[in-house]
Amino acid sequence: MDNLMGGHDMSLSARTSAPMSEDPRMERGPSTQVIAVSSGKGGVGKTNVVANLAVTLTKIGKRVLVLDADLGLGNLDVLLGLLPRHTIEDVLVGTHTLDEIVLRGPAGIHVLPASSGVPHLTTLTDAQQVMIQEQLAALASEMDVLLIDTGAGISPNVTFFASAADETIIVVSPEPTSLTDAYALIKVLARQYRERRFKVLVNQAKSPREATEVFGKLDVAVDHFLHVSVELIGVIPYDDYVHLAVVQQKALAELFPQAPATQAFMRLAQQVIQWPRSGLPKSSVQLIWQRTATPAGN
């Protein structure tokens, strides 16, 4: 990863606008934990979850790379106040490589920004999928955690990236449509990609009881009709500080470290790093990812 920079004394404009330079202290680490964060519908705070989980993971000592995989409608860079010169669109057209577009974000996270308003990127071709996999495998091998912020819904890009990850987190909110669409996403991943396990995060819950009820409804439907496993991994409470952070284009975990939602993200980060690694692929796409990420001869 030739363009990752280890220093923290850069100006904000340089950190958020320029590609990264080499960090000689960065060493190739153990197998990277790959986590996709998805949702059945937009508006449930999925990208905000990704941004703050990335920051809190970094704060507990993990090297984190975030891929904005909402390739045609990316907004992770906007949420974090980043100013990318190049995006994944430049990688797909062949003018740049992934390591040339990496940005340094808050707390030292590394971000691969997507384009916005580019409809032809909403469905990758098979060749583009292979290219992204190969470059991402090399780049992510120097990280402890790769977070993939998929788009919302059940488009081919969403299901491809979700099924390629070690774990898939489905973000839901108390809205009834959130549960309906989350069920639809789980259904597609279960039937088309043979996924058998899903982790569910309830976001914007006004109380623990509300979160329990939300998850319970999804759990009953999934168990009855799809016969797959869903696990409640956490609850992010409704928090006015989230809106304040979004308006300022800052990560909540950086701007308001004592906020209730930040504390919930910190608990989630501590849980994530303890997830066991089975070593077995959970889908056909992940099997291809594992083969791509394994150096020849290993």
Q: pLDDT digit string (tens) for 202-257?
A: 999 999 999 999 999 999 999 999 999 999 999 999 999 999 999 999 999 999 99
Phi and psi dihedrals of 220, rounded to 5?
A: -60, -45
Residue, of 91 and 283, whose pLDDT is higher? 91
pLDDT digits (tens, 9 = 90+) for 90-142: 999 999 999 999 999 999 999 999 987 777 777 889 999 889 989 999 999 99
Average pLDDT score over the chain? 86
**What pTM was estimated for this model as a whole?**
0.85
Strand ordering across the sheet containing 145-152: 103-104, 110-112, 64-69, 145-152, 33-39, 167-172, 197-205, 229-237
Q: In angstroms, rounded to a whole number, what is the distance separating the alpha carbons of residues 267 and 171?
A: 16
Q: What is the pLDDT of residue 6?
A: 32
Domains and CATH numbers, the chain: 36-273 (3.40.50.300)
